[in-house]
């Protein structure tokens, strides 16, 4: 997974620390990743109405 650099405030860092402790994660970076993944999962569920996993779709080659 590619990495991006985020500038966060002291308040946001405190929230990440709370999430880290609640979820039993090792770092605030893991807490940020957990929040992003949870948000994506919830958005996908609202869009489809079902709990489906997000998967990469690779088109099949068409042989002639």
pLDDT of 47 reads 79
pLDDT of 20 reads 95
pLDDT of 63 reads 64
Distance of alpha carbon 3 from its chain centroid, rounded? Answer: 13
Q: Where are the domains of the chain?
A: 10-47
Cα separation, 35 vs 22, in Å, equals 12
Buried residues in 24-36 as b, exposed as e (16+ CB within 10 A): ebeebeebbebee
Give the mean pLDDT per block of 10 residues along the chain (64 residues): 82 96 94 92 79 67 66
């Amino acid at each position: 997974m590619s990495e991006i650099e985020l500038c966060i405030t002291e308040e946001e860092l405190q929230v990440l620390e709370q999430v880290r402790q609640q979820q039993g994660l090792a770092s605030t970076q893991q807490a940020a990743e957990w929040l992003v993944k949870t948000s994506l999962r919830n958005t996908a569920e609202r869009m489809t109405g079902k709990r489906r996993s997000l998967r990469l779709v690779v088109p099949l080659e068409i042989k002639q």
